[in-house]
Chain A
């Protein structure tokens, strides 16, 4: 096998691998990525969200958390609008009223968000970037005063 042939082999192998990866990535990007919405975006129904897995983030509204057995109901707010959420499972340790939260799940027909996951943070000072930005949009952002 000559140098040229080997180089050709190398190139073909690379193109095949990258091509396969690109095909997989493009399919996955259509199906498997999850969009983030704020309560305002959902309530104002800018985007059809029903039935699709999405992320919803904002602040856990004060006084909204109600636990019934292993099911938890609470509301997520961005100051302008509120979306009710239902979640079955163990909440992350740092979940608390008034704190920023990101949940992942699907919108139900009755306008309640059915969360499959409530994302945990390692650090209670941490505010998810998306939540901070949506709060800034509604004018309810209070800076980094939580530190």
Chain B
């Protein structure tokens, strides 16, 4: 019964979405306030209906109602409650329902927080949101209904893929989707602005916080996924340039560029068409990401079984959404009035440079991700494009970007003084060169990879450049300390957000460079009592025992790890075999230190020698990566609390009201 309510609510939501997609749009064209006003109540109704539907599916999972096909295929009574709930979005149908629920919540948020938005812009933006909703609702209802019944109902379900039964991955899809769908805000407002033919500072002030929120979620989601791959797959790596990973990384790049170009629109009234272009691209790439993951057109290390007929539907959706919006862009963008002029050497210039590099980077990732498809279609053979391609294409493009990132914030708007800025950065330049040389020396010159020293130097340059800017702003050592602290307290939160995010990226670069360059790995068959030394850490396998879990049996290896003869840690990597479905998973044991992760994995019993296959690593500076990305997320959140981001929207309303009075 409850499943039918859920299904029915979705159908009603489709009807409401059709109303919301058309009437406010017509109303905005005719200037009819009643029809425009319909966008508010319909978006609220939409949210309520879709939430009911999502709650109905969650109910089916929580109560293990196996008469619902989706639940029977993906759940099991044995599962801990967390994974019963996470199971709702751990499958194709449920994850789409989550997508659309988030979309409806965002739409409702426009109504709730956008009371001061100009009615035309609001009506149009909500109508565009509803058009996206209609597309996805049709997709769910016709190809992926989560409420389909199964008769007779089985006694128990098939269970959730054990790899997904992990706290990191339970929250990875919702975070990612909050990011993907969050970019729909910028998209809808971009389309609405194109229809209106006007982009101004108030528009940017409204779009910025939403883009920032989406960026925070997307960053968090990507990091959770990467972190999960790092500890759960047991390969000691954290990024594989896999199509599914690229699918989330491309919108991140476009979104990061959008975040920065929206600043230029708000502050300097320039780069409008470019910002609109990025808003469309960021969401277009989010849709493409959903398509790549869901359609199975590309062989991916992480691929899930999927249905190609659904792919055709999403592809059609993609063509309409991206093709339609870019056509509109082509017709309307030339009419956007260009605003403030600036010199290439200026803060706008630096932001633009980085925007172009980031967009080009996203383009190369897109090309590399889709190349196997092209090659197959053009009969060039079956190819895969992996890490070597991306490392030799994407990474070089990011080097000038990071170089400019340290310089940009020190430049003034409109016309900067490059020589002067470099003069202020001379300590940072010197120290970065010292760090580059020191790294080269420490790794034993050409004994390590040649790019490692450059990577560490680049990280140092970004961190130091960011700190120099901060020190100058608070007049550190130039004014009394109390004065500096008072100045620091007065800096806007959005500035602190930028500091954290840029500094976080510096830490991330250091961690990524070190872990790629100097990872130490040993794979062997290890007998009980045998000791193996990796990078100064001695792993002694004490014993191996079976430990039962909630819905699995774990074979746990107990290692005593010593460093320089002193006890360091006891590590317990395990291999689990789940009851339903009966599949094994690897649980790595990780002990973090300041300089890196000590990482151990236990594998199968070696029947010949009686030992166990073990894989032991030292992953240098990996914790820096996680801390760095945490700083980036914190930076985004700090920036979101900035006063200016909250009071943005009323500004234009007031300006319009004043204009009406005059």
Which stretch in A18-26, A73-81, A106-114 binds the other chain? A18-26
Residue B167 is within 8 A (CB to CB) of chain A in the complex: no
Contacting pair B609 A69 (CB below 8 A): yes
CA distance A9 to B346 in the complex (A): 13
CB distance from A83 to the nearest CB of B (A): 16
Which stretch in B417-425, B480-488, B583-591, B638-646 binds the other chain? B583-591
Residue A119 is within 8 A (CB to CB) of chain B in the complex: yes
CB distance from A82 to the nearest CB of B (A): 20
Residue A43 is within 8 A (CB to CB) of chain B in the complex: no
Residue B318 is within 8 A (CB to CB) of chain A in the complex: no
CA distance A91 to B234 in the complex (A): 10
CA distance A128 to B468 in the complex (A): 51
Within 8 A of A (CB), among B536-580: 575
Contacting pair B305 A147 (CB below 8 A): yes
CA distance A119 to B304 in the complex (A): 13
CB distance from A99 to the nearest CB of B (A): 12
Residue A45 is within 8 A (CB to CB) of chain B in the complex: no
* Number of residues from B at the complex interface, CB < 8 A: 62
Residue B132 is within 8 A (CB to CB) of chain A in the complex: no
CB distance from A71 to the nearest CB of B (A): 9
Q: Give the residue of A17, A27, A93 whose beta carbon is less than 8 angstroms from that of B392.
A: A27
CA distance A89 to B603 in the complex (A): 10
Residue B4 is within 8 A (CB to CB) of chain A in the complex: no
Q: Give the residue of A6, A70, A93, A130 whose beta carbon is less than 8 angstroms from that of B613.
A: A70
Contacting pair A122 B383 (CB below 8 A): no
Residue A2 is within 8 A (CB to CB) of chain B in the complex: yes
Contacting pair A121 B234 (CB below 8 A): no
Q: Give the residue of A2, A13, A31, A68 whose beta carbon is less than 8 angstroms from that of B388.
A: A31
Contacting pair A2 B393 (CB below 8 A): no
Residue A36 is within 8 A (CB to CB) of chain B in the complex: yes
Contacting pair A122 B341 (CB below 8 A): no
CA distance A130 to B389 in the complex (A): 20
Residue B444 is within 8 A (CB to CB) of chain A in the complex: no
Q: Give the residue of B386, B523, B586, B601 whose beta carbon is less than 8 angstroms from that of A88.
A: B523
CA distance A123 to B304 in the complex (A): 6
| Chain B residues whose CB sits within 8 angstroms of the CB of A92 once the complex forms | 233
Residue A67 is within 8 A (CB to CB) of chain B in the complex: yes
| Chain A residues whose CB sits within 8 angstroms of the CB of B164 once the complex forms | 122
| Chain A residues whose CB sits within 8 angstroms of the CB of B601 once the complex forms | 90
Contacting pair B388 A89 (CB below 8 A): no
Knowing A69-B608, A70-B523 touch, does A90 contact B364 (C-beta < 8 A)?
no
Question: Chain A interface secondary structure, helix, strand, loop or mixed?
Answer: mixed
CB distance from A96 to the nearest CB of B (A): 10
Contacting pair A90 B363 (CB below 8 A): no
| Chain B residues whose CB sits within 8 angstroms of the CB of A24 once the complex forms | 364, 392-393, 396-397
CA distance A11 to B399 in the complex (A): 21
CA distance A26 to B15 in the complex (A): 49
Residue B472 is within 8 A (CB to CB) of chain A in the complex: no
Residue B115 is within 8 A (CB to CB) of chain A in the complex: no
Knowing A20-B397, A28-B389, A120-B233 touch, does A67 contact B301 (C-beta < 8 A)?
no
CA distance A55 to B382 in the complex (A): 9
Contacting pair B583 A6 (CB below 8 A): no
Contacting pair A3 B371 (CB below 8 A): no
Knowing A6-B341, A32-B392, A123-B304 touch, does A128 contact B299 (C-beta < 8 A)?
yes
> Which single residue of chain A is at the shortest CB-CB distance from B271?
A10
Within 8 A of A (CB), among B389-409: 389, 392-393, 396-397
CB distance from A92 to the nearest CB of B (A): 8
Which stretch in B181-189, B247-255, B353-361, B452-460 binds the other chain? B353-361
Contacting pair B392 A126 (CB below 8 A): no
| Chain B residues whose CB sits within 8 angstroms of the CB of A29 once the complex forms | 371, 389
Contacting pair A67 B344 (CB below 8 A): no
Residue B343 is within 8 A (CB to CB) of chain A in the complex: yes
| Chain A residues whose CB sits within 8 angstroms of the CB of B586 once the complex forms | 90, 93
Residue B148 is within 8 A (CB to CB) of chain A in the complex: no
Contacting pair B343 A1 (CB below 8 A): yes
Binary per-residue interface labels of chain A (44-82) against chain B in the complex, 1 for a CB within 8 Å, 0 otherwise? 000000000001000000000001111000000000000
CA distance A36 to B38 in the complex (A): 55
CA distance A70 to B601 in the complex (A): 13
Contacting pair A21 B393 (CB below 8 A): yes
CA distance A119 to B234 in the complex (A): 13
Residue B384 is within 8 A (CB to CB) of chain A in the complex: yes
CA distance A126 to B524 in the complex (A): 30
CB distance from A65 to the nearest CB of B (A): 11
Within 8 A of A (CB), among B212-252: 233-235
Contacting pair B356 A13 (CB below 8 A): yes
Q: Give the residue of B342, B392, B525 whose beta carbon is less than 8 angstroms from that of A1.
A: B342
> Which single residue of chain A is at the shortest CB-CB distance from B585?
A93
Residue B604 is within 8 A (CB to CB) of chain A in the complex: yes
| Chain B residues whose CB sits within 8 angstroms of the CB of A3 once the complex forms | 338, 341
Contacting pair A121 B357 (CB below 8 A): no
CA distance A81 to B611 in the complex (A): 34
CA distance A62 to B357 in the complex (A): 50
Contacting pair B385 A33 (CB below 8 A): yes
CB distance from A78 to the nearest CB of B (A): 13
Binary per-residue interface labels of chain B (513-536) against chain A in the complex, 1 for a CB within 8 Å, 0 otherwise? 000000000011100000000000
Contacting pair B396 A102 (CB below 8 A): no
| Chain A residues whose CB sits within 8 angstroms of the CB of B608 once the complex forms | 67-69
| Chain A residues whose CB sits within 8 angstroms of the CB of B361 once the complex forms | 21
Contacting pair A70 B524 (CB below 8 A): yes
Contacting pair A90 B386 (CB below 8 A): no
Q: Give the residue of B367, B393, B523, B606 whose beta carbon is less than 8 angstroms from that of A67.
A: B606
Residue B152 is within 8 A (CB to CB) of chain A in the complex: no
Contacting pair A13 B299 (CB below 8 A): no
Within 8 A of A (CB), among B193-218: none
Knowing A21-B360, A125-B305 touch, does A28 contact B392 (C-beta < 8 A)?
yes
Contacting pair B397 A21 (CB below 8 A): yes
CA distance A32 to B368 in the complex (A): 11
Within 8 A of A (CB), among B344-383: 344, 349, 352-353, 356-357, 359-361, 363-364, 367-368, 371, 381-383
**What would 7 A/B residue contacts be, using CB atoms closer than 8 Å?**
A9-B349, A20-B396, A21-B361, A37-B382, A69-B608, A89-B615, A122-B163
10 closest Cβ pairs, A-B complex: A69-B525, A36-B382, A32-B388, A32-B389, A17-B360, A125-B305, A93-B584, A24-B393, A126-B305, A90-B603
Where the two chains meet, the residues of A that have a C-beta atom closer than 8 Å to any C-beta of B are 1-3, 6, 9-10, 13-14, 17-18, 20-21, 24-25, 27-29, 31-37, 55, 67-70, 88-94, 102, 104, 119-126, 128-130, 147
| Supplied contacts A13-B352, A21-B393, A89-B615, 9 more A-B pairs, CB within 8 Å | A20-B396, A24-B392, A25-B364, A33-B386, A70-B523, A90-B601, A90-B613, A119-B301, A124-B581
